[in-house]
Amino acid sequence: MFRDPPLTKRQVGWLFVIAGGGLALVAAGADLLKTGHFSTPGPLQLQALGVGALLVLFGLSLFPLGQRPA
């Protein structure tokens, strides 16, 4: 009976920004908890930070597409 409207490209962009930001915060927060065997950010942390940054950039690139269905 009721149809949910589809997600817009801007909403999908927000989801990517939130996911990427969360991933980057978790990866950066691991240093605060002193996890791991490295005195500097380890290789997996750097990869997670890079993937998080790419997700944020991809999400931001969807914002100008506006209210079109995803």
Q: What is the pLDDT of residue 12?
A: 94
Q: What is the pLDDT of residue 66?
A: 85
Q: How confident is the model at residue 2 (pLDDT cuts 50, 70, 90)?
A: low
Tell me how long the chain is: 70
Distances (CA, A) of 9 to 27, 50, 53, 54: 27, 23, 19, 17
pLDDT digits (tens, 9 = 90+) for 33-61: 776 677 777 888 899 999 999 999 999 99
The verdict on pTM exceeding 0.85 is no
Element (DSSP H or E) covering residue 6:
none
User: What are the extents of the domains in the chain?
Assistant: 9-65
d(CA 17, CA 36): 27
